[in-house]
Amino acid sequence: MKQIPREFKGVGLYRPLPVALRFTVWPFAIAYAVALYYYINSTGMAAIHTAPPHQHLNELNETISGATTNNSIDGEEVVVEEEGLLEAIVNNGVDTFDFLVLLSLPGIALVQVLCWLGGHWSSTFFVLFNCIKVSDPKSASLVKVTPQSHKGPTALCPLERKIRPETETTYWFVYQKRKYFCNVNADKSVTYTKLDFPKNKEFGFYKAADGVADLAAAHSKWGQNKFDVPHPTFLELLQEQALAPFFVFQMFCVLLWSLDDYWYYSLMTLVLLVMFESTVVKTRQINMKVLRDMNDMTRPKKPVNVYRDNKWQLVRSETLVPGEIVSLPRLKTASPAPCDVLLLHGSCVVDEAMLTGESTPQLKESIDSRGDEEKLSIGSDRDKLHIVFAGTTILQSTPDTEARLKAPDHGVIGYVLRTGFYTSQGKLLRTILYTSERATADSAESICFILLLLCAAVSAATYVFIQGLKDETRGRYKLVVRCALIVASAVPPELPTELSLAVNASLQALRQIGVFCTEPFRIPFAGKLDTCCFDKTGTLTENNLVLNGVTGLSGQTVIPADSDDLPGETLFAIAGCHALVIHDGSVSGDPMETAALNAINWSFTIGNTASSRKTRFGYKLHILRRFPFVAELKRMSTVVSLDHCRETTLFVTAKGAPETMREFFATVPADYDDNFNHFSRQGMRVIALGYKYLPSSVSFAEIQSFTRSDTETDLIFGGFLVFHSVLKADSLPTIDALRRSSHNCIMITGDNMLTGCHVAKSLHITTKPALLFYNEGAQGTWKSVDEKNIVESQGGKEIDEIVKTHDLCITGEGLEFMMQRWKAGEVKKAITSTRVWARVSPQNKELIVAKLKSYGQTTLMCGDGTNDVGALKQAHVGVALLGATARTPGQAAAAAPQKKAPPAKKEPLFKRKNAPRPVPQPKTAQRKPQPTIANSLEAMLQQEEDSNIIKLGDASVASPFTSKSNSTRNIAGIVKHGRCALVTMQQIYTILALNCLIQAYSLSVINLEGVRMADSQATIAGILLAMCFLFVSQSKPAEELSKQRPPHGVFSAPIMLSIAGQFAIHLVSLVFVFESAKQTSPVPTPHVETFRPTLVNSAIFLISVAMQVTTFAVNYKGTPFMQSIFDNKRLLFTLGATGGWTMVLAAQLIPEMNEYFELVPFPPLFALMLMGVLAANFVGTLLWDRLIRRLFGQTA
């Protein structure tokens, strides 16, 4: 039984076969030999090969010469042009069976090439054709890795080995920049393990660490601490693009058109393809350059101090290995961490915005207080407080003056946990480089769409082939080419190009409004949205809360924060229980905590010291120990010392959600619930305060050994902080616009249910009275906000009735309660009917979005902080608001300056030993000049680079979409552009489908009658088609969101019925013109393989161009999802000019123009009939499409 890492679905060992034994070689060698044998011994060729050489040459010359003949039809001479050598042989010297035998040779070659390309496109095909599977690593040289869904493509990796005489051979392979070992067990079974790191040891192990003993072995195992972002050359990437499936197919189509003598058309198509692929290649090069620049900007610019050989040494960060002891100083310029480091001594403040999107600086503390037997869990929120992740910026570094090791650069001391691509920053880069979780252009729908067209084309090609074989005068060579063209026409080679143009247009437009997207093909999902989820604080409401005061100490009376009536203990709890830090001389941290500190007229200064600005009191408070806020716990606490009148008092301060803090109070006031519920119903944010005194004999060492359970018990109730949250100006208009456009809007917040319901009502998220779910009784209880209406739950059976008159509000714990006790169907009804989710943890947020997705809803999640990352990634459209990130903590503090406390004349008794030192203001880094553009192609692409590339700071790994604005005003813009992109893609599908069906008919039935198009005609038609597609893809979205929603896919009833009806009208028009032209033409069309101007050819060309114009004009959706066709001036002008040009040619107003485009003169009555059919065709398809839209409730 093979054991593999959980990120893999399967792993297999393979050995390449010798070239001669590969299935891409020997079966085809046999097939070639058999085909040649039958061909040489066939009846037709046997006579040629058995004749004497001179007779053979004479007959061959006569055959070739006979290819040029003169034929007379009704007295008019028709010249059939000379054929090629191969065609002459096929048409004159070989019967049908011999022709099929000869045809098998290029057929075998084509299959062989496809098999070879299949091995290039797919690792599965490569091992199938070229390798043999083995079970022993000793005989293997390749490893086939199949990852889990959305984790990247299947890949073949070389199996490396290191032979050691004294030990067993070590086998490993590298997949997506990560190393995996292949281990052979005693029972000959094979297991695969990841490269292990010292990241789950006991804390005692880390505290006793003093470096790595064998550096050479460590470097051999873990490699260098760097990111090897690939930098392929332009030609290498172009070669890769040239072997892509669609490009190969496009080139095959170009070859077929050239074999059919359409040289100009083929050359034009080839040039356009090469230009587009060159653009793609250059864009990929720019993307990789951005990744390398990101790597350079997030790597230390200077050597780092590392403890090696019992002394500190300056080394390059690339040489660091796990297990080493390093120093992380605060440099004059912002310094990124070189790897994932566990803090052993000291503390620091870091900016993790690049990794998490969290704009608030984070405090990292050492593991000094953790028990030696506790184990590190790198994924837990609690242990993340001790880890500085690679790429995060170190804003402040406070060394421990009493640490066992002291670095010469006065940095904090840390233990290297992970390096290179195994770090958090490495994971971000790997996600960008390899992860295939890119919402592609509905690949399943595209495949089904193409297969449907392919069925029609194969039927047409089969008909042509059978009829062509019956006609002895028809050339077999051109018959094969024509059948191949018919099948190729069913797969629009320009499909990926057109879809990319449509999405890139929306991508550039979004960037102009400050929205950046790292996964472009998620944009159409914004047009399919069913449910829009919003975080509350910082997303719908302002981060900057206003402290109304303190309540709960004397009923529901609110005591102003700066009142002298406020008890001292409550005052000290406000001043001491927070996670604020000093960065560049300014206070940074949670805006709520900053607002509370300002409201009580206290200041926070260097040394984790808070002091009253009312100098007559002389209070000075020192934070000795912090237990930071954890979302799952919903609380935090600190240990502080208070200096006043030369006396020092120690006590614990704590705060958190009222319902969470209740169990930690020694005595709970009788009106506790009534008080905080009263203010929560008014939309206030309520925080419970607690405190307790500590004996003065407690030492600093004992304080550092405290755990949460030591501090957060037997607390004394200190009152409720009541904050007023201000709605953002754009929140209500955004929610109203989304609701009017048929979207279901819900709020997911960590706040109290009553607070959430009040804000939801203010924003029209709820429009009916709210019912709140409580985990009471066997199945739960529903209560109104005022608790006057109480409904006992029946396991969810009551939901269908109560949602008719009420909106639902459920907590995260309530959801878990339902999932445990209710049936799955009732849980689904509850989740899809809930408008407000309150008191949810980050895991609950992610679960809610995942459940909505599993119920078939297309979801959007909008949030602004670390707690939203899971939900943002889970949603189809995750939008991170990072407007606050662009503002540095220093700038934020400058916007709200605080008075600094006077310097203390005397050190407090319990001064923290690792108090921060003053940090000099960093110098502003000068922006590096942009590199000179090397060539004209790069200059041409510069605008595209500026529009499409996500630069460092523009977006985070938190979500596919990032808004630089800190409000929700761009959400409506994302939905508008999503709808526009979705509809544009649907109309591209529709237009391509109609064109392909018409072309398949034209190439089959009509071409059997000898109708062809001139090379110049095909070229001008191709140019007009490309221009129309370009202008369709550049359409702008409508100004307002409409109530009507676009169809989710191309296989919706209105689109399919519209395509069927339009094709029928086009087909009738085409057949009518064709038959009329045949009857009118004085000269029947001969069975020739080259173009000759005739009445039939001329008429078919004009109606074909007119049908293309009609297809674009009729199927352009316009309002209510995008600008109308009259506002799309370029498309309107192109279609109008082309339509007018077609009518001018049909009316023969400019005979010289008709002659230039190789059109014959039309009889007057035929010209009138042709113009009438062109007009009727346009009117008929337009009326049919509008009728279908009206029947399905769509406005035109």
Task: Kindly state the tokens that stand for 868.
Answer: 């939203």
CA angle 444, 449, 455 (to 5 degrees): 125
Which residue in the list 98, 368, 530, 535 is annotated as catalytic? 535
Distance CA 606, CA 624 (A): 13
- SS3 call for 882: coil
Give the CA diameter of the chain.
127
Nearest to 624 by CA among 713, 570, 699: 699
Contacts of 935 (CB under 8 A, 6+ apart): none
**Of the candidates 884, 875, 878, which has an alpha carbon nearest to the alpha carbon of residue 852?**
875
Rounded Cα gap, residues 926 and 1051, in angstroms: 54
**Which candidate, 66, 95, 59, places its Cα nearest to that of 82?**
66
β-strand pairing of 340-345 with 412-418: antiparallel
R_g over Cα of the chain: 37
Show Cβ contacts of residue 22 under 8 Å, excluding neighbours closer than 6 positions. 129, 130
DSSP 920-977: PPPPPPPPPPPPPP-SHHHHHHHHHHHHH---BTTB-TT-SEEESSSSTHHHHHHHHH
Other CB atoms within a 10 A radius of the CB of residue 244 amount to: 16
Torsion on CA atoms 452, 453, 456, 462, rounded to nearest 10: -110
Tokens 């994302």 sit on residue? 974
- Residues in Cβ contact with 564 at an 8 Å cutoff, skipping those fewer than 6 apart: none
b/e burial code for range 1004-1030 (CB count within 10 A of at least 16 → b): bbbbbebbbbbbebbbbbbebbbbbbb
Q: Distance (Å, rounded) from C-alpha 838 to C-alpha 537?
A: 12
What is the arrangement of strands in the sheet containing 877-881, beginning at the earlier edge strand?
Answer: 515-517, 961-963, 877-881, 859-863, 531-534, 744-748, 834-838, 807-811, 770-774, 781-784, 790-792
Separation CA 1176–CA 938 (nearest Å): 48
Q: Is 856 left (phi over 0), alpha (psi -120 to 50) or beta?
A: left
To the query of whether residue 535 is one of the catalytic residues in this protein, the response is yes
Residue 646, SS3 per DSSP: coil
- Cis peptide preceding 1047, ω within 30 of 0: no
SS3 1122: strand
Which tokens is 1162 given? 């039309």
Strand partners, 588: 581
Q: What is the 3-state secondary structure (H, E, C) of 20-78?
A: HHCCCCHHHHHHHHHHHHHHHCCHHHHHHHHCCHHHHHHHHHHHHHCCCEEEEECCEEE
- Which tokens is 281 given? 């290649």
Nearest partner of 325 among 339, 309, 308, 338, judged by Cα: 308
Return d(Cα 862, Cα 745) in angstroms, integer: 11
User: Which pairing describes strands 190-194 and 178-184: parallel, antiparallel, or unpaired?
Assistant: antiparallel
Phi and psi at 852, nearest 5°, equal: -60, -40
Best CA proximity match to 154, nearest among 7, 3, 1, 2 = 7
Q: Which residues are catalytic?
A: 535
